[in-house]
Amino acid sequence: MNRTLILVLVLLAANAMALDVDVSGSNVLETRVEKVDFVSNPDSAEASVVDHMLFDVLIGNNFTLGSEVDVRLPRRSKFSGLEEYSTSILDQFHFIYRDDITNITAGHYSATLGKGLTLRAYRDDDLEYDHTLTGAYARVMPIEQIDFGMLAGQHLRSDEGLFQPDNVQGAELTVRPVNFIYVGGSIGNERRFSITNYHDNILISGGYLGATIWKFSLYGEVTEPDWTVTSIDTTTLALVKTHEIGHGRYGNLQFNYPGIGVSLQYKDYLKENGDYTSPPPCTHTGSSVNEGADEEGYMGEVTVSPLAGLQVYGGYAKGDGQALYTYTPLPPEPPVTYVLPSDLTEYWGGTQYMGIPDLTLNADYVHSFPHNTTLPDSWVEEGQDIPSVSADLIISKVHTISLSTAYEMRHDSNQSFNAQKGGLELTDDKYYYLRPSLGYSYNSRIYVTFDYERTNHELAVVAGQPPAKTQWLFGQARYVITDQHSITVGYGTRRGGKVCSGGMCRQEAPFDGLKVNLTSSF
Amino acid sequence: MRIFIVLIVVFAVVAALADKAPIFSLQDTQGNKVKLGDVLAKKGCVLIDFWELSCFSCKQALPKYQQIYNKYKDQGLEILAISVDSVRTVSNVAPYVSGIGLTFPVLLDTNNDVFRNYHVEIMPTSFLIDCTGEIRFTHTGYKPGDEKEIEEKIVEILKDYAGQKK
């Protein structure tokens, strides 16, 4: 609250002193009335109001004071009568000084060193993942050929109170000796508390080289993660510190010629799975076979435009990983360590055709098939094949009709130990999701979309709970009031996941009810 | 509740102020540094388009913007397509944009700093900026046909620019 007041006072004071002040930001206000499937009352509904505001105050040409404010009106539980959550505000706050040579941020920030093998502190709202830092980050570019960055920050974990904040430091230097080559080195250190009052330390250092020659671009990065891990010996209850060295190797070769683009990538990671690292997964879907713990793989992708208005792309990715699992039986039997392999295969292809002026046709196909060994003799496969087609027809200057459908074929196999039967059991489940969608837009001002989804995947009924849905229908209308303001009203049921509708893509949670969303920018 | 009302009032007040495009400096897919200030000094209208590889609508819009670019680049239009792909996927951006034949600069905002400065809530989002740095038009989302309205606004801004030059 104090910081919000400071921000408002700075805004008013700067105006009073006739400083050159510019304010920009956005605001999303969402009201929902949604059905909540409680066991005792399957037809109960709850209302909620959430407001999310971002704003920056630019003072003069160099200083920016910004904040991200998240306000949720308190909502009382229908059953207990207690306040479910209180008003929460001011998640993030930052102060930036920026000129041609220097960029200094104090407060909340994201940072990436190299390609994320040494350090990556970031936030992904779609995945509700937040590993941003609070502290200071400075970048200096004294001349065009040199870029130096240094950062130090803390991250308050969600289990704050039990653990102290993580401490992160990093530095990076990039030098471009000639126009077509750059070399750099980076170092990152994360200190995180694994057990109350005891911490793990992960120090990662590395170097990289990039070059562009004619239409070819080459990038290579090598790192060495150095882990010091604190654990408790289960037999003696003594603290044990272990020291382990890993490696990170990432390479990328590109060919970029107008009308032809080729990308080849290679990865080999061991112990690159720190909380503040995020090495490239080298896959189409962004899935990683083992999140950098111990994996190798490669990926190739080609995009071409053989004719005007026609684009074709396709690719293949393969990854292999392994995890270690230690089984500790009762003494005097010694612990047994198993190596559990996993692999991921992906191939994909697609085309977009815009040959006829007012018709756009798209076809896509994605195959992603991970196989993970969970225990000796036990494994899980959750593969999916998703062909999809869509057509957009511009009827006149103001009317556009869109039709699309995706057919997602899923194949879940699971071999696991069944304690009741006393042996291995194989379950093999094949099912589909069919997602047709119809859209209409008027004059780039009104968008109406109907999304239908059905599946033949019937989940077992849990006693006391309504049966899982097999059909979903959601209707949505968006009216663009002005360039800065739009209102969206949606009603129906949604399965959730990544949804692209009415020309927008975002991650949606499962939903059943009515929601009204007012989005503004200023 | 009071905090909520105060914030909404503050929001309503500041919403009335002028929209100045935040300046930035980013590398393009060729490794060149592109500064918005330098571009505005040379061009009459800049279309900034935020997009990412996993966004289907964004990828539908890019070839349409190329057609608009071919038509108006000699009259003072510049397009800066800002990819917000992270380091996990950014290596696929350059081959994709050259594969589909884009010739305008595609900039890489891997940390999403510029994306946040522009307060983008919906993907894709496009901003039309005039030579004074003022945001004259914002377009959120994309459906085929939307480019016609964007083109109309570009023509409007380029007309003003031609008038100023005289």
User: Could you give the C-alpha distances from A2 to A7, A90, A156, in angstroms and in order?
Assistant: 9, 10, 19
When pLDDT is averaged across residues A168-189 and rounded to a whole number, the result is 95
Q: In this complex, do A394 and B144 lie within 8 Å of one another by their Cβ atoms? A: yes
Q: Evaluate whether A450 touches A475 at the Cβ level (below 8 Å).
A: yes
Q: Looking at residue B39, what is its pLDDT?
A: 94
Residue A96 forms contact with B (CB below 8 Å): no
Q: Evaluate whether A141 touches A147 at the Cβ level (below 8 Å).
A: yes
**C-alpha to C-alpha distance for A185 and B100, rounded to whole angstroms:** 33
**C-alpha to C-alpha distance for A361 and B107, rounded to whole angstroms:** 27
pLDDT at residue A479 is higher than 80: yes
Percent of chain A with pLDDT over 70: 84
Whether B87 is in a domain gets the answer yes
pLDDT at residue A163 is higher than 80: no
The minimum CA-CA distance between B164 and chain A, rounded to whole Å, is 24
Considering only residues B77 and A362, tell me which one the structure prediction assigns the higher pLDDT. Answer: B77
Q: What's the pLDDT tens digit per position in B20-63?
A: 888 888 999 988 889 999 999 999 999 999 999 888 889 889 99
Q: Residue A264's beta-bridge partner residues? A: A253, A300
Q: Looking at residue A270, what is its pLDDT?
A: 94
Q: Residue A311's beta-bridge partner residues? A: A352
Q: Looking at residue A176, what is its pLDDT?
A: 92
The minimum CA-CA distance between A386 and chain B, rounded to whole Å, is 15
Considering only residues A320 and A13, tell me which one the structure prediction assigns the higher pLDDT. Answer: A320
Q: Evaluate whether A108 touches A132 at the Cβ level (below 8 Å).
A: yes
Grade residue A88 by pLDDT with cuts at 50, 70 and 90.
low
Averaged pLDDT score across all residues of chain A: 83
Whether B4 is in a domain gets the answer no
Chain A: residue whose CA lies nearest to B24: A98
Q: In this complex, do A444 and B11 lie within 8 Å of one another by their Cβ atoms? A: no
The minimum CA-CA distance between B162 and chain A, rounded to whole Å, is 24
Whether B61 is in a domain gets the answer yes
Considering only residues A27 and B99, tell me which one the structure prediction assigns the higher pLDDT. Answer: B99
Residues B147, B150, B155, B161, Cα dihedral to 10°? -140
Residue A313 forms contact with B (CB below 8 Å): yes
**Most confident among A109-123, A192-206, B7-21 (mean pLDDT):** A109-123
State the count of interchain CB pairs (< 8 A) between A and B. Answer: 225
Q: Which residues of A touch B31 (CB under 8 A)?
A: 180, 182, 210, 212, 217
pLDDT at residue A13 is higher than 80: no
Kindly state the tokens that stand for A462: 């849990």
**C-alpha to C-alpha distance for B119 and A519, rounded to whole angstroms:** 11
**Nearest CB to A400 within list B33, B91, B143:** B143
Portion 411-470 of A in contact with B at CB < 8 A: 439, 441, 443-444, 447
**HEC sequence for A339-393:** EEEEEEEEEEEEEEECCCCCEEEEEEEEEEEEEEEEECCEEEEEEEEEEEEEEEE
Residue A115 forms contact with B (CB below 8 Å): yes
Interface test with B, best of A26, A67, A89, A120 (most B CBs within 10 A): A26
Q: In this complex, do B7 and A89 lie within 8 Å of one another by their Cβ atoms? A: yes
Provide the domain count of chain B. Answer: 1
Q: How many Å is the Cα radius of gyration of chain A?
A: 26
The minimum CA-CA distance between A79 and chain B, rounded to whole Å, is 22
Q: Looking at residue B65, what is its pLDDT?
A: 94
Residue B5 forms contact with A (CB below 8 Å): no
Give the least confident one: A82-91, A239-248, A299-308.
A82-91
Burial A133-170 (b: 16+ CB within 10 A, else e): bbbebbbebeeeeebebebebebebeeeeebbbbbbbb
Q: Looking at residue B42, what is its pLDDT?
A: 92
**Nearest CB to B91 within list A110, A280, A358:** A280
Give the least confident one: A138-142, A230-234, A275-279.
A230-234
Q: In this complex, do A112 and B7 lie within 8 Å of one another by their Cβ atoms? A: no
When pLDDT is averaged across residues A295-314 and rounded to a whole number, the result is 92
DSSP A11: H
Q: What's the pLDDT tens digit per position in A251-276?
A: 999 999 999 999 999 999 999 998 89
Whether B138 is in a domain gets the answer yes
Q: Which residues of A touch B156 (CB under 8 A)?
A: none
Q: Looking at residue A89, what is its pLDDT?
A: 54
Considering only residues A259 and A5, tell me which one the structure prediction assigns the higher pLDDT. Answer: A259
Q: Looking at residue A383, what is its pLDDT?
A: 81
**SS3 at position B111:** coil
Domain residue spans of chain A: 1-69, 99-280
Q: Looking at residue A251, what is its pLDDT?
A: 96
Q: Looking at residue A294, what is its pLDDT?
A: 93
When pLDDT is averaged across residues A238-251 and rounded to a whole number, the result is 90
Amino acid at B18: A
pLDDT at residue A403 is higher than 80: yes
Portion 105-164 of B in contact with A at CB < 8 A: 110-113, 116-123, 137-146, 148-149
Q: In this complex, do B98 and A360 lie within 8 Å of one another by their Cβ atoms? A: no
**Most confident among A113-127, A210-224, A504-518, B18-32 (mean pLDDT):** A210-224
Q: Looking at residue A340, what is its pLDDT?
A: 86
The CATH number of the domain covering residues in A99-280:
2.40.160
Whether B5 is in a domain gets the answer no
In this prediction, the residues of chain B whose per-residue pLDDT falls under 70 are 1-18, 166
Assessment of whether the complete model's pTM goes beyond 0.90: no
Q: Is A234 exposed, middle or buried (0-12, 13-18, 19+ CB in 10 A)?
A: exposed
Whether B10 is in a domain gets the answer no
CATH of the domain at B136: 3.40.30.10
**C-alpha to C-alpha distance for B83 and B106, rounded to whole angstroms:** 7
Interface test with A, best of B98, B132, B138, B157 (most A CBs within 10 A): B98
Judge if the upstream peptide bond of residue A387 is cis by omega within 30 degrees of 0.
no
Q: Looking at residue A508, what is its pLDDT?
A: 65
**SS3 at position A91:** coil
Grade residue A502 by pLDDT with cuts at 50, 70 and 90.
very low
Grade residue A488 by pLDDT with cuts at 50, 70 and 90.
very high
**Is residue B39 left, alpha or beta, with left meaning phi > 0 and alpha meaning psi from -120 to 50?**
alpha
**C-alpha to C-alpha distance for A104 and A281, rounded to whole angstroms:** 30
Chain A: residue whose CA lies nearest to B10: A8
Domain that holds residue B154: 19-165
